[in-house]
Amino acid sequence: MSDWLTDATAAVTDLVGDRAATWDLAGLLPDDVLRTLGKQGLLCAEVPRAFGGVGAKSVEGGAFTAHTGSLCSSLRSVMTSQGMAAWTVQRLGDKAQRKHYLRLLTGGELAAVAFSEPGAGSDLSTMDTVVRSDGDSVVVDGHKVWTTAARYADLIVVFGRFEDAGAAVVVPANTPGVTVRPVPHPSGCRAAGHSEVRLDSVRLPASAVLGGGGQQLTMLATTALAYGRISVAWGCVGILRACLAAASEHAATRRQFGRPLAEHQLVARHLAELLTAEQVATRVCEHASRCWDTGSPEQVIATVLAKYVSSREATRGASTAVQVLASAAANDGHVVARAYRDAKLMELIEGSNEICQLILARHAVAGR
């Protein structure tokens, strides 16, 4: 384990402590926790050191994401959003934009990425958000929904139509015309700051458009969603590890009919399934991250596979953990109760599991 990963793991463990349940019940993460991690560059660890990051490889960043996810999926969700914003700037921004925005994102400012709309989820071709030029400025009008971390964000990377193509625009959240309204009662990752974002004639300098705009909408989606998918996949590994630890501890110490639950064969089967799920998810994520680190042509499909497998296993694994803990997992805020709600959301975000299945099926046919 590298020095930065050892230190980062200790730092986030200390910051979270035993407070994740309280944050989940309140639906709010403490600002000081987010700013502390942000100023250390740990909310987007893969940003190069030249821009204030720690320059993590995907395998190392994934291990840190999984650890954070095992402690608090809401915090991991904010980390995913920050990483998506940073990755979008790195891939689309020009030299000046990369220097400016990445320094902000590793210096304590928080970011969100606004994709989904009331009538457009994974299909960006149906987006209604419009970015139009007006002299030395651009004007943004649109309505985004379920924008993770927007409640906390200083900057929102907004995707929209631009002339005959698309664009990603960095919008300061305090710009006139920007309204952020938190989702009142999200079922999963309750403290992740999911919000509705309205943009009404939001005027910005043209320099806020990453790379000048004019990118294909499909390329824009692939850029940000690829990072989001690998991050969510590693977060699901964390969910599984939390469930495995809780279920194993409970089964080893809770006695029924004169012996520990773990010695009952049907309960032992549940533990075996949980361990298998955690191992499968870990290995598929490790493979995907190695593809990222080596620039493998299999990177895209490996990432989709990791997201699909890990989210599916996390959902099943969380349900299994609830079965093992029974009434002990029925207390709202309990680590397994949180996992049960959070994991299901992972099958929906950054491309639903059905979208992932379609991509994998097309890959299978193309490679026959």
Q: How far apart are CA 192 and CA 189, in angstroms?
A: 5
Residue type present at position 40: Q
DSSP 324-366: HHGGGG-STT-HHHHHHHHHHHHTTTTS-HHHHHHHHHHHHHH
Element (H, E) at 174: none
Q: What is the pLDDT along the chain (368 residues), one digit of tens a residue?
A: 688 999 999 999 999 999 999 999 999 999 999 999 999 999 999 999 999 999 999 999 999 999 999 999 999 999 999 999 999 999 999 999 999 999 999 999 999 999 999 988 767 778 899 999 999 999 999 999 999 999 999 999 999 999 889 999 999 999 999 999 999 999 999 999 999 999 999 999 999 999 999 888 878 878 888 999 999 999 999 999 999 999 999 999 999 999 999 999 999 999 999 999 999 999 999 999 999 999 999 999 999 999 999 999 999 999 999 999 999 898 898 999 999 999 999 999 998 999 999 999 999 999 77
Contacts of 157 (CB under 8 A, 6+ apart): 84, 85, 88, 89, 111, 112, 113, 114, 168, 169, 170, 171, 210, 224
Q: How far apart are CA 315 and CA 317, in angstroms?
A: 5
Q: If DSSP codes are grouped into helix, strand and coil, which group holds residue 158?
A: strand
Contacts of 14 (CB under 8 A, 6+ apart): none
Which CATH number describes the domain made up of 3-105? 1.10.540.10
The CATH T-level fold of domain 111-215 is: Butyryl-CoA Dehydrogenase, subunit A; domain 2 (2.40.110)
3-state DSSP helix/strand/coil % of the chain, to nearest 5: 60, 15, 25
At 218 the pLDDT is 78
pTM for this predicted structure: 0.96
Which CATH number describes the domain made up of 218-366? 1.20.140.10
At 119 the pLDDT is 85
Please state the φ and ψ torsions of residue 171, each to the nearest 5 degrees.
-110, 115
Please state the φ and ψ torsions of residue 107, each to the nearest 5 degrees.
-110, 5
DSSP 253-291: H-EETTEEGGGSHHHHHHHHHHHHHHHHHHHHHHHHHHH
The domain locations on the chain are 3-105, 111-215, 218-366
At 122 the pLDDT is 65
At 221 the pLDDT is 77
